[in-house]
Structures are given as C-alpha cells and as structure tokens.
Structure 1
Amino acid sequence: MRAELLKNPVFAMAAEQFDQVADFLELDDDIRERCKWPKRLITVTVPVRHDDGSTRVYFGHRVQHHLSRGPVKGGLRYHPDVDLGEVAALAMWMNWKCALMDLPFGGGKGGINCDPRTLSVGEKERITRRFTMEMIPFIGEEIDVMAPDMGTDEQTMAWFLDTYSTHAGKMVPGIITGKPINLQGSEGRIRATGHGVAFLASRALNKLAVPVRDASAVVQGFGNVGLHTALTLSSYGVEVRGISDVTGAVWNDKGIDVQALSRHADTTGGVVGFDGADAIDPEEMLCQPCDILAPAACGMVITCDNASKLRCKVLAEGANGPTTPEADAILAERGDIFIIPDILANAGGVTVSYFEWVQNLQRYRWTEREVLTRLETMLEAAFTRVLQFAERHGLGQRVAAQALAIQTVAEVKSQRGMFP
C-alpha cells in the first residue's frame, strides 16, 4: 500500500514535505511512521442507475488520516481524476491544517471518480445517497464529518444529511458541514475559504509595508474559493487585474469588476468572453507583475518552469498543493516572495466548518459577523505563530507552518501512546 500511495504524484509531494519537516523536528522513527501514514483508507463501489436506464459503477474513496486529536474533518469532491492517492494526500494536508489552526480534528478527505458536469441532478443525488450509505459504518459526528469540495456544494451536503439522518431515525446536523442555512448550516461558510485567503494576503502586505488599497492581485481559479478571494480583495480596495478558470483567463490593467464577471460566468459557464477585460494566456497571467498572486484552483500550478518568472510580492495559496517542491526550492533561493502556505492560507473553510459543527452540537446559531470575526481572530493568531516560528528558526513560512502542525500531531501521538 505504501508503494501504491507513493506512485501518486500528489501523495509523493505531501510525503516529501512531511519527511523534510520530520527531519527538521528530529522525530523518533516510531512517532514519525505513525504520523505519516493514514489510519484508514476506504474504497467503495457506488452503483448508480442513470436516467437512460443504464447502470454504472463508480469508485468512491475516503481517507481518515488520524483521529488522535478528534474526529476527522475534510471535504468530499466529485471529479474524474479522483483516486486514492490524491485523496490520501489531501487528508494528510487537512490533518496539518487542523493542527495548525488548533481545531479538535484530524484530517480526512473523500471523493468519487465521476464528472459532475455530465450528470443530471437526479444522477448526482443518487450517487451521493448511495455513497453516504456505503460510508455509514465509518462516519459520525464524533468520527468523520464531511464538507463540500470540488464538484460538490450545499445541495450535495443536504442529500448526504438527509440520507444519514433517515438511517439514524433522527436529524443529525453535525454529520456534515457546508449545509444550507435552513438545514442548520452556518452563516459565512460559503465565503469562508476565499475570505481567509484575502484576509491573510492583506496581512502579508501589511508586513511588507505595502498599502492594501490600490494594491494589485491575480487570482487563478474562479470557483468558490477564487470568486470569494477576488470579491474580498476588491472590497479591501485591491485591483484584481487577472482572473482565470478552466475556460481561459481575462485581464484588465485597471481592475476587473468581479461581480460583473461572476454574473457573466454564471450565464456563459466561464470567464472567457467577458467584455470588461481582455483575453490573456492563463500561463502568462501567472507571471504578470502584481502584489498578490492567489492560485485558488488545482494543485501543482507553480512549477520549476514558472517559479523563476513570478513577479508577485505575496503568494497566497488558496488551492491545496499549488506549489511543487522543485518550485519551492526556487522560491526559497529567490527569497523575494512572501509565501502564505496552503495549510494556512486556505484554512478558513475548515475553521468555519468547525464553527458550524459546534453550532450544530449546541443547537445555537451565530451571525455572519460573529463567524467572520472569530475566523479572522483565529487566522491572525495562526499567522502570528507561523511568522514567529519561522523567524526563531530561520525557516520559510511553509516549513514553519508544517513544522508547527506536525509537531502538534506528534506530541498528541506521544502523549496517548500506542495501543498494543
């Protein structure tokens, strides 16, 4: 199984990051091994009857990295490239993210290998309900709490909640987060990840003594994270000059009207063709001069091929694993870009998911202002811890964030001991 996981380039990247930090922390071999490998790797078949009467079997995965600090927390994605190795890597990163933010969770991640763009609403509902039933022996509000991710949304979570609650014979809102508000979801959850990326990017500019108002930004990705990163940056007075998605990229030196672009994308299916900006090659867009570059879509987009060409002051990683280890080495040698690593930059989503879970357990609701204020307070605290650790040990922000997180998990593993 180890060899199979390491064949996946995303898991291999996460494992390489772990090994580097474990060497720095000088972890004992027994603790090192227990922290690195996931506790459970679950794969199930998901047979679904399609609208045309045919039946197709999909493969669903769920990886629970550790339950040492509490139930696992992490998203559920629907994408044709989902496989067990990728899910295991994302679960590992989520484990570090929860530890860094001091949330009482371990890391989890799930996914179904399907293309949601080709499925009808009914087919997506049947896939979700069948996958939920297959997962019931392994989940619970004190065991594993899922959330939306790529290709899923609050409607997916509503189907998941209904299936689980029907099986339990009662409403169990804490089984899932990212639910609709009227099903005991949390205010602020949809915008949380992007809001956090923008908030931390603005704090980085403060550290660099760069005025936030009239600063410039480029956002790669215009899904939920990219959209709300761009919207929040715009609300701060930042000019978002470049935005891309799977259809292409657009550019306006004077700043893009993000609300208008969102309406255009909703209508046409993408950013291409927006009359408030010019077309630009997506790869060229990443290398345009800007104060903030926010990769907020998929992994491995900052590579050894473009890392030396970046012209940003702040790299705010809204996506998971957007920078390869080879690119990291180039950026470290350059030393002129302030990196906000993914496990910190995009931690807003899981933090507000934690808030939703707490509200569900208490049967009490917070206002959006309360949610976002609490989020910003926790992000600020984590940001400060990372910067202080980095300065104290002469490290880059990525290694500092990972070291703080892995050290936290390792300490809990050591304190709890190992059951014979």
Structure 2
Amino acid sequence: MPAPLLSLTWTDHVTGRPGYLVVDRLVRGVASGGLRMRQGCTLDEVTGLARGMTMKEALHYDPAGRYVPLGGAKGGIDCDPRSPEAYGLLVRYLRAMRPYIESCWTTGEDLGLTQDLVDRAAAEAGLVSSVQAVYPLLDDEASARKRLADAFCVDVDGIGLDELVGGYGVAESVLAALDRAGTPYAGTRVAVQGLGTMGGATARFLARAGLTVTAVADVGGTIANAAGLDVEALLAARDAYGTVDRAVLRADDRELPGDAWLASGAEVLVPAAVSYAIDTTNQHRVTGRWIVEAANMPVTAAAEELLAARGITVLPDVVVNSGTNAWWWWTLFGDIGADADEAFAHTRRSMRALIELMLSRAEADGTTPRAAAHAIVADRLPVIADRYGWYR
C-alpha cells in the first residue's frame, strides 16, 4: 500500500507523552477521522486507522448524494484517558494540531474520548470546531452547522442519537448477514466485548431485534447469562467509560474473567473495545460463526486467516462500524435531517446495501469479506480521484 500523505509524531512538552496524526488521503483538500486516547497508542496503529478511514469514506460514496466522501485520517494520544493529566494533554495536543484541524483534518470522538470532551478541549485550544475544515465545502454553512448541532441534541430512550447510530449500523450489519445466511434471529446468541458507545448501542439493537445477548465484557470482567442478560439494565448502570456497576446484576448472572466472552458459545461475537483483541494466541477459543468488528482493527490479520480456515467469518470494521462517520456527514451535508427515524432509516439502507455488496463480492471472488471490501474501495478510489482530484 502507498505511504500516507502525512505522518507526524508530537511530544508533549509537559508530560513527555507522544501524540500522532496521520493523513492517509485528501479529497477536496480534507480528510476525516477521529482522535483516540489510550495507553500504548502507537504511530503504526494510527496509520492503520487512517487507512481504514480512507476505505470507510470511499465505501459510502454515492454520486447522487450531497455528502461527498472525504479523505482518511486519524489522531492518537498515548495516555490512559482516566489519568489526571489526560485532559490537559488533550488540550495541548489540539493546540499543536490546530493548523491541521483548521485546514484539512476533521476529527471527533474515538476510543477513550467522548464528543463532549473533544468539543470542550477544542474550544479551550482556540478552535471553532473539531470539524471546521469541512465548512468551506458546505453550500450553507450556518444551516448545516445548526442541523448537526440539533442532531446531537436528539435523545432516543435516554441516550443521545450520536451515541446510538454507530451501534445501530453494527446491529444492522449483523442482521443483514443473518438474513443472507437464512439464520433466524430468535435463538442466535451474541457476546459483546466493550459496553461503551458502540458496543452498548449494538447490544441494545440486537436484543430488540430478538437476538439473545448472553455475554458482555468490560474492564471489570465478563458478565454472562446463558438465558440472556438484561441489556437495558446494564446500559443504565454504565459509567462514562462503559463499566457496569455490578450491583444491578441478577442472581443468575455470572461474573467471569475478562476474556471469557471469547468462548461463551455465542454464534455472533462483537469486539467493540480495543484494537488487536483477537490474535493468534486466543483465536482458537472462538467457537462462533461470525465476528463483527465494531471496534477498529480488533482482529489481527494472522488471526483472521486462521479463523477463516475454521469457517468463521469476520465482517470487517471498515464496513461494519462506518455508520457513525457517515451519519455525521449525511447530516452536515443535508442528506438527512436532525431526526432519529430518518437517521436510522438511512443508516439501515446504507449498511444493509454495503453488507450485501461486500458478501456478494466475496462469494463471487472466492475471498474473505475484508478482501472484498478492499476490492470495492480499489474500484471506487480512482472514480473519486477522477471527479475531485487527488488533493484539491
């Protein structure tokens, strides 16, 4: 693969901790990708995530849509987000990256950070918005910004729409795969690693669709119940980091080690937390039929090869978890309004179409879903480049 357009490492003058920015590709002079904060974050990790963002943008290209996909980018900070020094570090990082955020990089929440926190730190860093680089591309900036702000105020059953739409896209990806395989929802078991924004919403919508969530994992371990967990009770008992208060567990809920979700017997596994959660050392414990990547890069390439040899299908992150990013732009550019029903309907249509396209391509080519997704991107990137150029 070609080298990214821009790759830089920043060192905080206060803590000595590193931060990274990788711009993989520009379209109309702008790239999109969130900012993550986690202990141990690396430049290689951010580089892979930036390439993934280029793919997610290309996969949602619709020549008839108002939203024109951007390039791909990603930011990362090597720090535990729970650390007392984390917020000050975030502000200083955003100040250092201000020239890029003002000109070419639109960013937002990712692992370890919420959008509210990013917005607050961005304001303190002197930025108009974390997505201000896209404003010159809008036909009516004032209306577009109001529409997005209104969308972030939409509440659905006690949870903000912005915290639900990505997980809804993951859930629809699961349901589309089940439908294609002729597998009924009732009786299909699900294990979810991570009950934060993405994992929590995925669990909610899969449970509401009739699947049985039998295991969820957070930093405190795995919570399991073969008959099904009370997903809504667990969601209501989460803290800001997705950790469940064990006081809400029922008598027949079991507390197991943190990695027990891998071997819980569920047909569908949804890693929705950290990267590299499934590797060659633990992939043998997976007994399900599908792994659906709600997190970014949760399955290593070597592990995926071994899983495929055992007949386990990995639905890749570049498709499955692309709904959040797309929702931002569908709303800002005006393909949809600040309305939950409209957002869910558009997300459902888009994600199901992408899953069908990817799985059909994989079947026709005799490849994995990830290879098929890469092939679709390879077809679309030159089309986008011909229409908009490589950099402008």
TM-score of Structure 1 vs Structure 2, range by shorter chain: 0.7 to 0.9
1:223 aligns with 2:182: no
**Length-normalised TM-score, structure 1:** 0.78
CA separation of 1:180 and 1:270: change in aligned 2, threshold 3 A: farther
AA in 2 matched with 1:162: A
- Cα pair distance change 1:267/1:175, threshold 3 Å: closer
In structure 2, the residue matched to 1:352 is 327
Going by fraction, where is helix more abundant, 1 or 2? 1
SS in 2 for 1:286: helix
1:290 matches 2:266: yes
Q: Distance in 1 between the 2:130 and 2:301 partners?
A: 41
1:70 positional shift? 5.5
Partner residue of 1:101? 60
Question: 2:95 is matched with which residue: 133, 148, 153?
Answer: 133
What secondary structure, in the 3-state scheme, does the structure 2 residue paired with 1:266 have?
A: coil
Shift of 1:175: 5.0
- Equivalent residue, structure 1, for 2:15: 56
Per the TM alignment, residue 211 of structure 1 is displaced from its structure 2 partner at its CA by 1.1
Pairing partner for 1:400 from 372, 377, 385: 372
**2:46 alignment partner, SS class:** helix
Structure 1 residue corresponding to 2:184, chosen from 207, 211, 226: 211
SS where residue 339 of structure 1 aligns?
strand
Superposition map of 1:150-165 within 5 A: 150-163=111-124
The residue aligned with 1:381 is 353
Q: Does 1:144 align with 2:105?
A: yes
Supply the distance in 2 between the matched residues of 1:183 and 1:353 (Cα, whole angstroms).
10
Listed as ranges, the matches of 1:10-89 within 5 Å are 36-47=2-13, 55-68=14-27, 71-89=30-48
**Partners of 1:205 and 1:314 within 8 A in 2:** no
Count of residues paired in the alignment: 366
Equivalent-residue separation in structure 2 for 1:297 and 1:80 (angstroms): 14
Inter-partner Cα distance in structure 2 for 1:416 and 1:97: 17
Counterpart amino acid of residue 235 in structure 1:
R
Match among 89, 102, 117 for residue 82 of structure 2: 117
Structure 1 residues 268-296: Cα deviation after superposition (integer angstroms, max 9, x where no partner): 97347453210123333212222211111
Q: Distance in 2 between matches of 1:417 and 1:369?
A: 35
CA contact 2:106–2:132 (8 Å) conserved in 1: yes
The answer as to 2:283 corresponding to 1:307 is yes
Give the Cα–Cα distance (whole angstroms) in 2 for the partners of residues 45 and 60 of structure 1.
Answer: 6
User: How far off its partner does 1:130 sit?
Assistant: 2.7
Residue in structure 1 matched with residue 158 of structure 2 by the alignment: none
Q: TM-score, normalised by structure 2?
A: 0.83
C-alpha distance after superposition, 1:21-61 (max 9, x if no partner): xxxxxxxxxxxxxxx211011333444xxxxxxx5344322
Change (3 A) 1:184 1:83: farther
- Where do 5+ consecutive residues of structure 1 fail to align? 1-17, 19-35, 48-54
Amino acid aligned to 1:334: R
**Equivalents in 1 of 2:387, 2:134: separation in Å?**
29
In the TM superposition, what are the counterparts of 1:230-309 in structure 2 within 5 Å? 230-266=203-239, 270-271=243-244, 273=246, 275-276=249-250, 277-309=253-285
**Percent identity (aligned):** 27
How many Å separate the matches in 2 of 1:267 and 1:132?
A: 22
Determine if contact 2:32/2:53 at 8 Å carries over to the other structure.
yes
Q: CA deviation at 1:414?
A: 7.2
Letter in 2 for 1:390: A
> Could you say if the C-alpha distance between residues 182 and 163 of structure 1 is closer, same or farther in structure 2, counting changes exceeding 3 Å?
farther
- Which 4+ stretches in 1 moved above 6 angstroms? 179-182, 414-419
8 A contact 2:275–2:295 mirrored in 1: yes
Name which of 319, 333, 343 aligns with 2:309: 333
- 2:314 is equivalent to residue 342 of structure 1: no
SS at match of 2:118: helix
Per-residue CA deviations over 1:315-363 (Å, capped at 9, x if unaligned) read: 211111122222222222222x33311111111111112224325xx9x
Against the structure 1 CA distance between its residues 212 and 172, is the aligned structure 2 distance closer, same or farther, given a 3 Å change threshold?
closer
In 2, Cα distance between the equivalents of 1:408 and 1:253? 43
* 2:162 counterpart letter in structure 1: R
Q: Report if aligned partners of 2:170, 2:294 keep a CA contact under 8 Å in 1.
A: yes
Closer/same/farther in 2, CA of residues 326 and 132 from structure 1, 3 Å limit: closer
Work out the CA distance in 1 between the residues paired with 2:169 and 2:389. Answer: 35
8 Å Cα contact 1:77/1:110 also seen in 2: yes
1:70 to 1:239, Cα distance in 2 relative to 1, 3 A:
farther
Which amino acid in structure 2 is aligned with residue 399 of structure 1?
A
Q: Please give the alpha-carbon distance, in whole angstroms, between the structure 2 residues aligned to 1:69 and 1:385.
A: 26
Instruction: Check the 8 A contact 2:196/2:242 in 1, yes or no.
Output: no
